[in-house]
Amino acid sequence: MAVAASPQATAAAAALSRHRSAAVPPVSRSVRVAAAGRRPPGSSRARGGLVARAAVAAKAEAPSSSDSGGHEVLMFEALREAMIEEMTLDPTVCIIGEDVGDYGGSYKVSKGLSEMFGDLRVLDTPIAENSFTGMGIGAAMKGLRPVVEGMNMGFLLLAYNQISNNCGMLPYTSGGQFKIPIVIRGPGGVGRQLGAEHSQRLESYFQSIPGIQMVACSTPYNAKGLLKAAIRSDNPVVLFEHVLLYNLKEKIPDEEYICCLEEAEMVRPGSQLTILTYSRMRYHVMQAVKTLVNKGYDPEVIDIRSLKPFDLHTIGNSIKKTHRVLIVEECMRTGGIGASLRSAIIDNFWDELDTRPVCLSSQDVPTPYAATLEDATVVQPAQIVAAVEEICQS
């Protein structure tokens, strides 16, 4: 049963709108509020219906924030904005997880949401990942759109049975009788001296599950757009957030926007070589690019964003232009995202390549606690520069 938005939630959404920018034209705000108000209580969106399909398929994104005013946010604030907007528009959206209520989440993504929407829609749970993930899947089967927060992606290994055997398979094994419109999100990746159990690179674990979509955000802009699209999708979506990116700051548009769940992002056009990356490694790559440009190289950089399925259209067009590929990831080398991506490139674009595709990945070891050893397990900008030089000279 859907839980209606409270008067406090409506007031909070209005406060958020005022906070975001006084420069937003009043007409734009009025149109958005009126559009939400015109939605009849019995419409498919209010029931968690099929509006989401357009969110997955849409190719157009909002203009860059520099062209349309906008407001500055940290990445965790952008994720929070996405949830406030979607929970205000759709009473079937709810949040489930450890400490998501009064505490506001381990990285404050849900801070203040329990006061806005009440503790039935922002549900604090015991430390029982398998149980509350299963509860979220059951809620999705009955028509809600849960956002399940894992305090750490490593902890979601305890829920792997639910995610794999139920979340990914039930739409198929039920013969299409059930949809599972659930988002499973949380922090992962190598932090700063968080130790092995809290610095795991598990993207490929979830990528391998049939029936699951997976995306990785890397900026406040795409974090908000991808989360909104994931909430609206009728497919189960895993959103991977890197633990070191929550405090990234960026100006994002005041207007509502979404990002396509299946589309890569062109970060830097180039002509000599295609660099494919995602999440935190986007920033290591861009550090390396500064050095490469000074040395006379012209790399093209693509943030693949969609870890499943890959956007082979964007990737293929780039390879047909540059004929050389370097994949840079933080995931493990054995069975990682890069291994799957390299296989897809060889299968689909072998004839376009002038040299073998190269993949730089993390070491196949538990992440050490010591900072120097921790850095040694992760791809660094200097390694990217060396790899590009070798590829371009081969």
Catalytic amino acids? 129, 198
DSSP characters for 117-184?
Answer: H-TTTEEE--S-HHHHHHHHHHHHHTT-EEEEEPSSTTGGGGGHHIIIIIITTHHHHTTTS-----EE
Phi, psi angle pair for 237, to nearest 5°: -125, 130
What is the maximum alpha-carbon separation in the chain? Answer: 64
- What is the Cα–Cα distance from 144 to 183, expressed in whole angstroms? 11
Using the CB atoms, write b or e for 24-50: b if 16+ within 10 Å: beeeebeebeeeeeeeeeeeebbebbe
Please, what sign has the CA dihedral across residues 237, 238, 240, 241? positive
DSSP category for residue 336: -
β-sheet bridge partners, residue 96: 123, 148
- What is the Cα–Cα distance from 216 to 301, expressed in whole angstroms? 16
DSSP characters for 45-114?
Answer: TTTT-TTHHHHHH----PPPGGGS--EEEEHHHHHHHHHHHHHHH-TTEEEEETT-STT--TTSTTTTHH
